[in-house]
Amino acid sequence: MISLNYRDSRPIYEQIKDELRKLIVTGALAAEEKLPSVRVLATQLSINPNTIQRAYNDLETEGYIYSVPGKGSFAGERGSADAARRELLKEKARQLLRELRVLGVTPAELEALLKEVEKT
């Protein structure tokens, strides 16, 4: 379900968050589907439960999951979470594009890069 890369520069909770978000967005985790408990997932991944809890809290704040006291965490509806995530990624792309322009990358090179990405 979730694989961690200990050589990745991102914190473990970010990797977990990204993996779970990907599972929800792709439909591998359907809306209303129960997520593994914090304790179970921590045991499976051999990491501290606080790390899982932080990832779950962030995903809940972003709208990808919701918690029911005494029942656990569940995948949420994608609509509003997708819109928020899209805006966040657009802003990151704007920042990256500004930096590339400062480094001298031309609009033609950026367009070629976009076409390259569209092919994959």
Full domain range(s) for residue 59: 12-77
Confidence at residue 38, expressed as pLDDT on a 0 to 100 scale: 96
Query: For 64-76, what is each residue's pLDDT tens digit?
Result: 999 999 999 999 8
Q: Are residues 52 and 96 in the same domain?
A: no
Residues 16 and 73 in one domain: yes
Task: Check whether residue 88 and residue 111 sit in a common domain.
Answer: yes
pLDDT (0 to 100) of residue 86: 80
pLDDT digits (tens, 9 = 90+) for 86-107: 887 899 899 999 999 999 999 9
The DSSP code for 70 is T
Q: Is 30 exposed, middle or buried (0-12, 13-18, 19+ CB in 10 A)?
A: exposed
User: Stretch 48-56: mean pLDDT, rounded?
Assistant: 97
Same domain for 73 and 87, yes or no, is no
- Domain harbouring 27, CATH code: 1.10.10.10
My answer on whether 62 and 112 are in the same domain is no
Is 35 a residue whose pLDDT tops 90? Answer: yes
Can you give the pTM of this predicted structure?
0.69
**Strands (DSSP E) found in 11-115:** 65-68, 72-75
Residue 26 binned pLDDT confidence (cut-offs 50, 70, 90): confident
Closest CA to 40 of 66, 75, 1, 7: 1
Number of domains observed in the structure of the chain? 2
Asked if the structure places residue 3 within a domain, the reply is no
d(CA 64, CA 28): 13
Percent of the chain whose pLDDT exceeds 70: 97
